[in-house]
């Protein structure tokens, strides 16, 4: 108690200097928390978007299916057989099939290739939730209802609800087919995979345009627990045979997770260097304090304080600074991540710009980023900051304790 009192008094004696070295601890803890919150939030964002808009927990697609650019051939498709149905009845909590194709969308003189999601109006929503969707108009269901057009396509082709759109596509058999269909609504999904070049075509209409029969390009399965996906995937692979390639959400998002790992490393590194800077800063401050109070130390020693006592005194001083810094950094970082974990950061403007060139067309993620807020980690970061302060003040404290009492008193 005596130490703490003395240390607190000493810290406030030179408040400016201690405040300054505290700032570096604040910065270190803050960046550590913010970096984790951001990267983990991004991870969860990608995983969610992957599951909720692209693949479900397990996806089956034709073997050899291209996964780059705007490519979605309809010549090799999948079918459901009894074995697969049995597997689905047994393991899936929900499933749906989609036929993805790439028609040319024509409106007036303008045309562009779009990614068409042929969806099953009855089951699609059970696998791919629409909670983020904003639809100006209605979601089509029958063959007469037309198509739902994403914001990006609507902007490029200058479409409004009710316009007629010509879709020109290859049929499953390879013939060229075209249809004029009404635009039932404009969709903002907050996901560049859909928003930039996507359109949604109900199954009955797909049947007329692409004539796939009962075949499809994607089977998306939701499980009761997403962590079961790796274990259950092999069962589905067995049921569907070599015609299909089975991928779990983990495999599908692995490459993007690679980028996240690099980001994580970069952020951690920045935080570590800030901590190292903070450590030297604190060591420096405590050392300064020791030199400044040589006489005082001498008096204390002469009055019977042991060396360990002097070490304790100065370490407590460093700890005090570190504690305040860690607390402030933790509060600041915790508050920032907490508020962004509730409100989210809207990346839409950023993505919008890149979207025009197709940078993100193939990457599913939500344009609203929610940071990851976890108390244990924030606490951990604060403890780490404190630990750095303790370790950093040991060396100068030992230096202080070595000052001989007589020399110290004579120092004036």
Partner 1 sequence: MMVLWIKLAIRNALRNLRRTMLPAATVMFGVALVVVALSWIEGIMGDMIESNAAASGHARILDTDYVAREQLQPLEEHIANVAPLLDRVRALPQVLDAQPVITTGVVITASDEIGDDFCVLQGGTRDWYEKHLEAPEKLVAGRWLSAEKGEVVLGRKIASQIHAGPGDEVLLLGRTYYGSMSDTKARIVGIVAGDAMLNLQAFLPLEEVQWITDIPGGAIQVLVWSRGTDARYVGPLVQALRGLDGMDGLVVQAWYDVEPWNMVVGMIGAIKAFMQFLIVFVAALAIFNTMTMSVLERTAEIGVMRAMGLTRMGALGLFLVEAICIGLLGGVAGAALGALPAWYLAVHGVTLGEELADTVGASLPMKATFYASLTPGILLGAVVLGAAIAVLGAILPALRAASIQPVVAMRVRR
Binding residues for partner 1, rule: CB under 8 A, are: 17, 20-21, 23-24, 27, 31, 66-75, 101-102, 109-113, 156-157, 170, 174, 176, 254-256, 258-259, 262, 266, 269-270, 273-274, 276-278, 280-281, 283-285, 287-288, 291-292, 350, 353-354, 356-359, 361-363, 399, 412
Question: 76 or 374, CB closer to partner 1?
Answer: 76
- Shortest spacing between CB 17 and partner 1, in angstroms: 6
Q: Hey, what are 226's tokens?
A: 């997403």
Question: 102 or 246, CB closer to partner 1?
Answer: 102
- Shortest spacing between CB 206 and partner 1, in angstroms: 14
User: The tokens 């909590």 sit on which residue?
Assistant: 93
d(CA 51, CA 163): 32
Question: 54 or 223, CB closer to partner 1?
Answer: 54
Q: Hey, what are 36's tokens?
A: 């984790």
Contacts of residue 360, Cβ cutoff 8 Å, sequence gap at least 6: 192, 193, 196, 351, 354
- Shortest spacing between CB 23 and partner 1, in angstroms: 6
Question: 107 or 222, CB closer to partner 1?
Answer: 107
d(CA 404, CA 321): 26
d(CA 30, CA 274): 10
Question: 123 or 352, CB closer to partner 1?
Answer: 352
Question: 230 or 258, CB closer to partner 1?
Answer: 258
Report residue 325 CA to chain centroid gap. Answer: 28
d(CA 160, CA 279): 60
Residue 290, burial from CB neighbour count under 10 angstroms (0-12, 13-18, 19+): buried
For Cα atoms 30, 36, 37, give the angle at the middle one, nearest 5 degrees: 85
Question: 3 or 395, CB closer to partner 1?
Answer: 395
CB 16 within 8 A of CB 317: no
CA atoms within 13 A on the CB side of 341: 20
Question: 144 or 255, CB closer to partner 1?
Answer: 255
User: The tokens 């927990």 sit on which residue?
Assistant: 57
**SS3 category, 105:** strand
Question: 20 or 88, CB closer to partner 1?
Answer: 20
Rg (CA), the chain: 31
Within a 10 A sphere around the Cβ of 410, how many other Cβ atoms?
Answer: 11
d(CA 318, CA 221): 56
Question: 394 or 399, CB closer to partner 1?
Answer: 399
- Shortest spacing between CB 227 and partner 1, in angstroms: 23
Kindly state the helix (H) or strand (E) to which residue 388 belongs, with its residue range.
Answer: helix 375-402
Q: Hey, what are 118's tokens?
A: 């042929």
Question: 270 or 387, CB closer to partner 1?
Answer: 270
User: The tokens 């009404």 sit on which residue?
Assistant: 182
Per-residue burial over 154-173, b = 16 or more CB atoms within 10 Å of its CB, e = otherwise? bbbbebebebebebebbbbe
Beta strands at 134-137 and 115-119: parallel, antiparallel or unpaired = unpaired
């Amino acid at each position: 108690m005596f130490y703490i009192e003395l240390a607190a008094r000493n810290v406030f004696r030179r408040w400016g200097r201690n405040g300054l070295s505290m700032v570096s601890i604040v910065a270190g803890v803050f960046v550590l928390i913010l970096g984790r919150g951001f990267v983990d939030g991004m991870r969860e964002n990608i995983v969610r978007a992957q599951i909720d808009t692209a693949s479900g927990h397990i996806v089956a697609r034709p073997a050899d299916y291209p996964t780059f650019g705007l490519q979605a051939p309809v010549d090799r498709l999948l079918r459901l057989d009894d074995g697969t149905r049995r597997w689905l009845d047994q393991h899936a909590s929900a499933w749906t099939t989609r036929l993805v194709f790439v028609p040319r969308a024509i409106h007036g003189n303008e045309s562009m290739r779009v990614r068409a999601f042929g969806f099953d109006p009855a089951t699609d929503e059970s696998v791919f939730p629409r909670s983020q969707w904003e639809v100006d108009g209605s979601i089509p269901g029958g063959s007469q209802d037309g198509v739902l057009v994403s914001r990006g396509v609507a902007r490029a082709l200058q479409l409004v609800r009710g316009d007629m759109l010509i879709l020109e596509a290859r049929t499953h058999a390879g013939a060229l087919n075209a249809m004029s269909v009404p635009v039932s609504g404009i969709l903002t999904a907050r996901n560049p995979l859909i928003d930039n070049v996507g359109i949604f075509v109900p199954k009955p209409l797909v049947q007329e345009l692409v004539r796939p029969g009962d075949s499809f390009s994607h089977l998306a399965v939701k499980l009761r627990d997403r962590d079961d996906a790796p274990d259950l995937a092999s069962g589905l692979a067995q049921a569907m045979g070599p015609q299909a390639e089975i991928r779990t959400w983990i495999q599908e998002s692995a490459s993007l997770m690679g980028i996240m790992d690099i980001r994580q490393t970069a952020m951690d590194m920045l935080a570590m260097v800030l901590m190292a800077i903070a450590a030297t800063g604190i060591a420096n401050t405590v050392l300064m304090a020791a030199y400044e109070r040589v006489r005082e130390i001498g008096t204390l020693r002469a009055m019977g304080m042991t060396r360990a006592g002097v070490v304790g005194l100065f370490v407590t001083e460093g700890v005090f600074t570190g504690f305040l810094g860690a607390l402030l950094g933790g509060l600041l970082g915790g508050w920032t991540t907490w508020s962004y974990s509730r409100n989210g950061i809207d990346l839409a403007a950023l993505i919008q710009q890149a979207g025009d060139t197709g940078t993100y067309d193939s990457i599913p993620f939500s344009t609203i980023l929610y940071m990851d807020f976890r108390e244990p980690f924030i606490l951990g970061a604060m403890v780490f900051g404190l630990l750095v302060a303790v370790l950093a003040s040991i060396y100068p404290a030992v230096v202080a304790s070595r000052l001989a009492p007589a020399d110290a008193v004579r120092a004036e």
